[in-house]
Amino acid sequence: MKALSEFKKALIISLWFMLLTFPIMVIRVNTIEKVVEWRWRNMAFIGIGSFLLSFVWRYLLGRKEKGRKLAEAGSVEARPFSRRLLDEPRIYRPALAAVTLFAVAFPFLFSSYQTNIMTTALMYVMLGLGLNIVVGLAGLLDLGYVAFYAVGAYSYALLNHHFGLGFWAILPVGALLGVLFGILLGFPVLRLRGDYLAIVTLGFGEIIRLILENWNEFSFGPSGIANIPRPGLFGIQMSLNEATIYLYFLMIALCLFTIFVVNRLQDSRIGRAWIALREDEVACQAMGIDKTKTKLTAFALGATWAGMVGVIFAAKTTFINPASFTFLESAMILSIVVLGGMGSIIGVILGAFILILTPEYLRAFSNYRMLLFGTTMVLMMVFRPQGIVTNVRRIYKFRARGRDGEPSQA
């Protein structure tokens, strides 16, 4: 009987979706030639698809519910599987060695096209780690992160155009400008709660983009800036291929630097203040943590990386215009953080590789790229809000059944 009612539910759901998607999916009007195209096949796909998916959906929801009950009863292993895997030295040491070897050999094994894609993925790793500070650690939803990225890119392009400054001189300048804009954005939004913050940061991102687009005398408008030089290396002349490989290794080095810094930050005093702020703002203030300073450092330190990656982006593509810095870019970086697991470094790295490389290598899906991002964000929030790799916070708890009552680290 249960199976029958489940079947009936799925049937109703599939009928509902067929009805719901009917005008958008089935009918397409050509208003110029005045013809209507009926695409009945799509309706069949939707029907079958939603019928099957409704089973999966309810199965997963049920499993999640069961998992929650188990966790409440306290009978579930505190450390998730992925974390146990990463903590096991016999597994992570060879894995680390293999990844290092692969990373070093990559540009020599594959074409410069592949290397380019990899460099892009590494750029997103850095962006993701930067946003992770703001969103994952401090819990401030920043939807205008791309603004800092744009600031970095334009600072290189403009300073180079007007003053002829080189890549290495501007890389720290880009980072500093990122910090400056981070604080600039941070000040007005200090008092805002989560959702207001999201919309103001979104507005901030759009303001920066619109200014870049419209202020022609300053930013050359929508046509952008071309002929930005690639990064140099002690004045050595490099071919295009060599420059690509050089940029790749530069990116690897910068990523390692970012990982190192973010990792250290996480366990520092300020990092723990961020996490406390994320968990409970009122309690955090009651513990004597300066809210203003903590929030501002989160914005500033998050924006640093975006400013740096912006400089690299300008140097890599040698051409920038405001169209590269839309809200979708912010959404993409955010979905990297969400998919990977908010607050988890390994998770963000994995998230960046999955979201950037999958559409590149599965060309058939490249049209569906944004559709998949959106779906990922919803599904991750519904079924696995902690991301692929769960970030395990240091917890100390007393073992209730300990023989001598000694506190043990769990």
Cβ at position 301, least distance to other proteins in Å: 19
What span, in angstroms and rounded, lies between the C-alpha atoms of 133 and 131? 5
Cβ at position 52, least distance to other proteins in Å: 16
> Residues binding other proteins: what is the number (CB under 8 A)?
60
Q: What is the DSSP string of 176-202?
A: HHHHHHHHHHHHHHTT--HHHHHHHHH
What span, in angstroms and rounded, lies between the C-alpha atoms of 17 and 11? 10
Which CA distances in Å does 187 have to 31, 98, 299?
Answer: 49, 44, 10
Window 252 to 281, contacts with other proteins (CB under 8 A)? none
Could you say whether residue 97 binds other proteins (CB under 8 A)? Answer: no
Could you say whether residue 139 binds other proteins (CB under 8 A)? Answer: yes
Could you say whether residue 183 binds other proteins (CB under 8 A)? Answer: no
What span, in angstroms and rounded, lies between the C-alpha atoms of 125 and 353? 7
Cβ distance to other proteins smaller for residue 100 or 366: 366
3-state class (DSSP) for residue 368: helix
3-state class (DSSP) for residue 163: helix
Q: Which residues contact 303 (CB under 8 A, 6 or more apart)?
A: 130, 145, 148, 178, 179, 181, 182, 185
Residue 236 is classified by DSSP as: -
Could you say whether residue 214 binds other proteins (CB under 8 A)? Answer: yes
Could you say whether residue 72 binds other proteins (CB under 8 A)? Answer: no
Cβ at position 202, least distance to other proteins in Å: 7
Q: Which stretch binds other proteins (CB under 8 A): 12-20, 87-95, 262-270, 350-358?
A: 12-20
Which one of residues 11, 12, 27, 44 is an interface residue with other proteins (CB under 8 A)?
Answer: 27
Using CB under 8 A, list all residues that contact other proteins.
Answer: 16-17, 19-21, 23-25, 27-29, 31, 34-36, 42, 61, 135, 139, 141, 143, 188-189, 191-192, 194-196, 198-200, 202-204, 206-207, 210-211, 214, 282, 327-328, 331, 334-335, 338, 342, 367-368, 370-371, 373-378, 381-382, 385
